[in-house]
Structures are given as structure tokens and as C-alpha cells.
Amino acid sequence: MEKRIGINLQEALTLAFECAHSLPTEKVDYISSAGRILATDVYSDVNMPPFNKSAMDGYACRKEDLGNWLDMLEVIPAGRSPQYEIAVGKCSKIMTGAEVPAGADTVFMIEQSETDNLGRVRFTGTKTNSNICLLGEDVKTGDRVLKTGTMLKAQHIAMLASVGCTQPEVYHKPKVGIISTGSELIEPEAFPQASQIRNSNGHQIRVQAAQCSCNVNYYGTVMDDQESTRKIISQSVDENDVTLISGGVSVGDFDYVQQIIEQLGFAIQFNQIIVKPGKHTTFASNNNKYIIGLPGNPVSSFIQFDIFAKPFLYRLMNYTTPDLKLPLPLAADYQRKKADREEFIPVKINDQNEVETIRYHGSAHIHAYHEASGYMSIPEGISTIKKGDTVYVRPL
């Protein structure tokens, strides 16, 4: 496949997805499956509800008897089967979630009832719903309740539990190696000396990858030395599915990463995406191994992970990330100097549900994102946006 330079974001994602091979699957305990991607459909082994179920605390009776004085047969708690069938002039007190007795087609609320000194009960309202959840009205035995490619969340865990699927089959978590390049970098525990800065984006990427249900291996920082860089990248490639490298992918004298990637047998599919920030982003593949080279500036790496690396990692788990963009009005006029690339700007959403841009000094200014609700996308060719115009915000 011919290497391409300077492609747009959608082209970059399409090209990377074409190179992606889905990871193997495994069965895991359903409680620990949150955040994983389902690899097989899940079907119900029961009807839901499994019986006609009372939707409230009340009295089960025949609809024709509403308004009449009724003799009470029993109290039916949840979890106990009714002992008596409802006949003319009869009712049973019933609790929420309990099985409705045969013969009853209505449950009227306790709050809409009265009793007499003979222990009889009467409905005092003017009308009522049946207040019965019918057998199988939610799910029938054999129905598909979850489909392949679903990201399992709390509500899905409840569904797995309800149909007895305690060992769902899911895709393996990608193993992701993270490397930060640059002789100027030190770890956060140290105090920077002259010409040094703390490594922030490497740890930022660690968290971003972990939030994508990846198994993360952090290899620390590496100096701008070709042999040292080659050695640590080679190790990460051997030990991981995907290697994420921050820095070293631009065109400086000490940017060795792209040369090393090719020496290791990888085909570079592209090395620029026409966006801002993060133009110098590299993607390379070698069968079922992948390298993503992210820019060294923290905002660039943050954004490029979110718009490119994250969708790719999920693609390995057969999951398509929703392309969620909220259409909202801009709170004030916005002007940018150049419109040659699609650009992402940090924003917050105010009390009027309007988009306010955040003071932002460029791709090294990660502190601009501490109060950001998300970032808005400005299409290529657009330099001016007026107050009240609709912009599209990707939430964080």
C-alpha cells in the first residue's frame, strides 16, 4: 500500500481501520466485563417479566368489580406465589413485584382504597390503569438482548445478570506500550533543571489508553539518541499490540522515530493529518502490530489520541466509537488567522447552553483544558464564526 502524506482525519481513520485486525476473544466474569466489547450476541433464557407482575402496592381484582366492596383473600408478598384465584367480589392485597393471581386483571393503588369494619376493600378512584406488567412484555425467551460490538456498561451488566449470562465473550484488551521521546524530559517526581521539562503527555496518554480498556505498559522517557530509541521501540513492539510514541515524529534533526519504524519492518501508512493541533501524526502497521506516533506537545497528543488513536484502539476490539458532536450556539464572535486545516479549540458550555472558547496559547498549553467541557471543530476554510452561529462540540 502506497504511503500517503497530508491526508484528512476521515481518510486517516479509514486507512488505519483497513489495517486493523480484530483481537482474539475470551470469556470473563460478567462483573468484571464493564468497559469490554461484547464478541457474541446474548440471548435471553427467560421471559421478562417471568410472570404477570404487580407494578405497585395495591389490591388485585377483576376490573368489573372496581367500585364494589371486595372480600380480601390473602396478602401476596414479592417472591411468594398466590394461593387463591380471584373470583367475583374477591381481591388480594399485593406488593410491588409480586405475582398477580389468576383471575385478576387490575391492581388498584392502596392510596385509592378504603376498608370497612368487615375487613372489606373498595376502590375509591374514578379510573385506574391495569398496573400489571405482563409476562414477557419486556423480553421473551430466545430474544436477543445484546449484540456483538456492544460496549458493556452498568445497564448491560444488569441485562447480563437478568438472562443468566455470567461469562460473556468479549474481545481481548489491546496491549499498549507508551514511550515518550525527548532529551529534555524528566519524570514528574524530579524538579526540572535548565532546559528540562516534566513529562506530562506520556502520563496523560497512559490514562487515556487505560480509559479505553487497554492493558498499558509504560516504558518511560528515552533521550534523543537513535540507538536508545530503536531499542525501546523494538521492545515495545515485541511486547504489545500497539506502540504509542509521543515526540520524535516531526522533521527536526533529532526526530528518529519514522526512520526506526521503517527499519523495524513497519509500513508507514501516513505521517501527517491535515488538522490542528497534531499535524505530525504517524501511523504504521506490520501485520497485527501497529505504531502510532503522536506529536510531543501535550495538547497535540491529547487531541490526536482522542480523534485518532482512541477510535483505532477500539476498532481492534470491533467497536465503533460514536461520532458525538453537539450542535450548540457560539457565545461570542470567533476569528482565527489561518483556515488551512480543520482545527480543534477547547471550549466550555455556559449556563445559557452556549459555547465559550477558552483562552488558549497553542499546542503546549495543556492547562487550557482543565476546565474544558470539550473542544469545538472548525472546518478547513472557515476563519470567522459569528455569535449565535452553530458550532459542533466533541464532549470530553
> 195 and 256 share a domain?
yes
In CATH, what number is assigned to the domain containing residue 156? 3.90.105.10
> 38 and 153 share a domain?
yes
For residue 225, the model assigns a pLDDT of 86
Which residue blocks in the chain are alpha helix, DSSP H? Answer: 9-19, 154-162, 201-211, 226-239, 257-263, 298-304, 310-315
> 301 and 386 share a domain?
no
Asked if the structure places residue 231 within a domain, the reply is yes
> 209 and 85 share a domain?
no
Asked if the structure places residue 321 within a domain, the reply is no
For residue 252, the model assigns a pLDDT of 55
> 293 and 223 share a domain?
yes
Report the chain's mean pLDDT, rounded to a whole number: 93
Query: pTM to 2 decimals?
Result: 0.88
Cα 299 to Cα 24, 103, 361, 366, 389: the distances in Å are: 33, 67, 10, 5, 26
> 156 and 36 share a domain?
yes
> 182 and 309 share a domain?
yes
Return d(Cα 140, Cα 47) in angstroms, integer.
4
Asked if the structure places residue 1 within a domain, the reply is no
> 214 and 196 share a domain?
yes
Return d(Cα 214, Cα 173) in angstroms, integer.
5
Say if residue 342's pLDDT is above 70. yes
pLDDT band of residue 253 (cuts 50, 70, 90) is very low
Return d(Cα 217, Cα 241) in angstroms, integer.
11
pLDDT band of residue 247 (cuts 50, 70, 90) is confident
In CATH, what number is assigned to the domain containing residue 257? 3.40.980.10
* DSSP letters spanning 112-158: GEEE-TTS-EEE-SS-----EEPTTSSB-TT-EEE-TTPBP-HHHHH
Average pLDDT over residues 280-306: 92
For residue 393, the model assigns a pLDDT of 96
pLDDT band of residue 363 (cuts 50, 70, 90) is low
Is the sign of the CA dihedral 253, 258, 262, 263 positive or negative?
A: positive
In CATH, what number is assigned to the domain containing residue 387? 2.40.340.10
Cα 264 to Cα 70, 269, 291, 329, 342: the distances in Å are: 84, 14, 11, 48, 32
Return d(Cα 162, Cα 168) in angstroms, integer.
13
Asked if the structure places residue 278 within a domain, the reply is yes
> Which grid cell is 368?
487550557
> 207 and 280 share a domain?
yes
Asked if the structure places residue 82 within a domain, the reply is yes
192-245 pLDDT tens trace: 999 988 888 899 999 999 999 999 999 999 988 889 999 999 999 999 999 999
> Which grid cell is 160?
447480563
198 compared with 160, residue with greater pLDDT: 160
Say if residue 4's pLDDT is above 60. no
Per DSSP, what are the bridge partners of residue 217?
177
For residue 364, the model assigns a pLDDT of 61
Q: How many CA within 13 A on the CB side of residue 90?
A: 13
> Which grid cell is 139?
423480553
Q: Please count the structural domains in the chain.
A: 4
Q: What range defines the domain where residue 232 resides?
A: 9-24+172-315
Average pLDDT over residues 99-114: 97
Return d(Cα 247, Cα 56) in angstroms, integer.
61
Whether the bond between 50 and the residue before it is cis, its omega within 30 degrees of 0, is no
Are 102 and 45 contacting, i.e. CB atoms less than 8 angstroms apart?
no
For residue 108, the model assigns a pLDDT of 98
Distance of CA 244 to the CA centre of its chain: 21
Asked if the structure places residue 3 within a domain, the reply is no
Q: Report the run of H or E that residue 100 belongs to, with start and end.
A: none
Of the candidates 239, 294, 253, 287, which has an alpha carbon nearest to the alpha carbon of residue 272?
A: 294
> 19 and 30 share a domain?
no
Asked if the structure places residue 258 within a domain, the reply is yes
Asked if the structure places residue 2 within a domain, the reply is no
* DSSP letters spanning 58-80: EEEE-GGGTTS-BEEEEEE-TTS
In CATH, what number is assigned to the domain containing residue 59? 2.170.190.11
> 126 and 208 share a domain?
no
Are 32 and 173 contacting, i.e. CB atoms less than 8 angstroms apart?
no
Task: Compute the C-alpha angle 370/376/381, nearest 5°.
Answer: 140
Q: Report the run of H or E that residue 387 belongs to, with start and end.
A: none
> 222 and 302 share a domain?
yes
pLDDT over 70, % of the chain: 95
